[in-house]
């Protein structure tokens, strides 16, 4: 399994870099809409949608929502405000998700049979992720098309470092369970190891002068993105457990589905975006 994961990573990382740094913004946006559609297709399982046509409808509906949000013909100032509001609301969603994870399975009966709540969960997971990806990629695009790509890559590296550090620290020192009823394999020691590695990388990135953000904004945005990335992983694990599935799909060998790969990013990207660009 580890070898499969490594091989998939070796193949995927160059593809990610090409999309981030070499795809024009318009192409990047379309790719993100497609990713949103695939993620919605996999999310349909959490809604207990098994019919292929219904899953396709849900996926296409998500693509339409993302397209409308991006192409809606309104003044740019109003559009930025709309995006800021949705991204800000995602903070509330992840606070709710934290409560749901901490109290699982006691509170699951409040949302398990509610299609409305699950649709809201999907909206505030996938839509802010799309807006965050596009928002960061668009930063300073007209004068330097690599600024936003560098910001996005930075957030990606933070998430990868948190995941990698947690994996190896958990295997080496893990004893106490972090959230045993949601994800029994995760440990407190792994969590500390992952966060520590990501913080070190964050400090190195700041003093390398690759990212031009004030230190306090940079530190708060980075730290909260690191912490919430773990929550994103745990939240998807909770949804999968409640749906009775192990992986969200089998799109990526050794990694499961697309949601299994971007679950941490769906939390980290919008939180970093809203804090670094809109609130702080």
- The pair of structure tokens assigned to 13 is 């990382």
CB 262 within 8 A of CB 236: no
To which H or E segment does residue 16 belong?
helix 2-22
CA atoms within 13 A on the CB side of 128: 30
Q: Which residues of the chain have pLDDT under 50?
A: none
Query: What is the reported pLDDT for 90?
Result: 97
Query: What is the reported pLDDT for 10?
Result: 74
To which H or E segment does residue 161 belong?
helix 147-173
Query: What is the reported pLDDT for 155?
Result: 97
Strand partners, 252: 256
Cα distance from N-terminal residue to C-terminal residue, the chain: 41
Could you give the CA distance from residue 196 to residue 183 in angstroms, rounded to a whole number? 21
Query: What is the reported pLDDT for 158?
Result: 97
Query: What is the reported pLDDT for 64?
Result: 98
Could you give the CA distance from residue 99 to residue 125 in angstroms, rounded to a whole number? 15
To which H or E segment does residue 94 belong?
helix 76-103
Could you give the CA distance from residue 155 to residue 33 in angstroms, rounded to a whole number? 19
Sign of CA dihedral 25, 20, 235, 229: negative
Diameter of the chain measured on Cα atoms: 54
- The pair of structure tokens assigned to 243 is 């749906």
Query: Residue 44's closest CA among 182, 216, 219, 245?
Result: 245
Enumerate the domain spans of the chain.
2-279
Question: In angstroms, what CA-CA distances link 173 with 101, 114, 178?
Answer: 23, 39, 13
Q: pLDDT digits over 2-23, tens only?
A: 566 666 667 788 999 999 999 9
Could you give the CA distance from residue 18 to residue 205 in angstroms, rounded to a whole number? 21
Other beta carbons within 10 angstroms of residue 185's beta carbon come to: 14
Other beta carbons within 10 angstroms of residue 235's beta carbon come to: 26
CB 182 within 8 A of CB 234: yes
Query: What is the reported pLDDT for 3?
Result: 62
């Amino acid at each position: 399994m580890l070898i499969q994961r490594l091989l998939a990573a070796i193949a995927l990382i160059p593809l990610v870099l090409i999309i981030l740094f070499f795809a024009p913004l318009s192409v990047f946006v379309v790719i993100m809409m497609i990713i949103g559609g695939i993620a919605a297709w996999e999310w349909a399982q959490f809604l207990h949608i098994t019919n292929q046509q219904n899953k396709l409808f849900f996926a296409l509906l998500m693509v339409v929502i993302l397209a409308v949000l991006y192409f809606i013909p309104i003044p740019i100032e109003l559009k930025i405000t709309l995006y800021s509001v949705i991204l800000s609301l995602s903070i509330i969603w992840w606070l709710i998700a934290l409560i749901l994870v901490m109290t699982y399975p006691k509170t699951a009966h409040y949302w398990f049979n509610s299609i409305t709540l699950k649709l809201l969960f999907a909206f505030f997971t996938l839509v802010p992720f799309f807006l965050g990806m596009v928002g960061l990629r668009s930063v300073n695009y007209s004068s330097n098309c690599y600024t936003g790509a560098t910001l996005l890559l930075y957030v990606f590296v933070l998430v990868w470092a948190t995941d990698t550090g947690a994996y190896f620290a958990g295997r080496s020192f893990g004893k106490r369970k972090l959230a045993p009823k949601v994800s029994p394999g995760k440990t407190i020691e792994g969590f500390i190891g992952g966060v520590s590695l990501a913080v070190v990388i964050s400090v190195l990135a700041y003093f390398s002068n690759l990212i031009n953000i004030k230190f306090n904004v940079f530190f708060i945005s980075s730290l909260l993105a690191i912490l919430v990335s773990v929550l994103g992983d745990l939240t998807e694990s909770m949804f999968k457990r409640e749906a009775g599935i192990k992986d969200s799909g089998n799109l990526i060998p050794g990694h499961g589905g697309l949601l299994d790969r971007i679950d941490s990013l769906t939390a980290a990207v919008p939180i970093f975006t809203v804090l670094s660009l809109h609130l702080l």
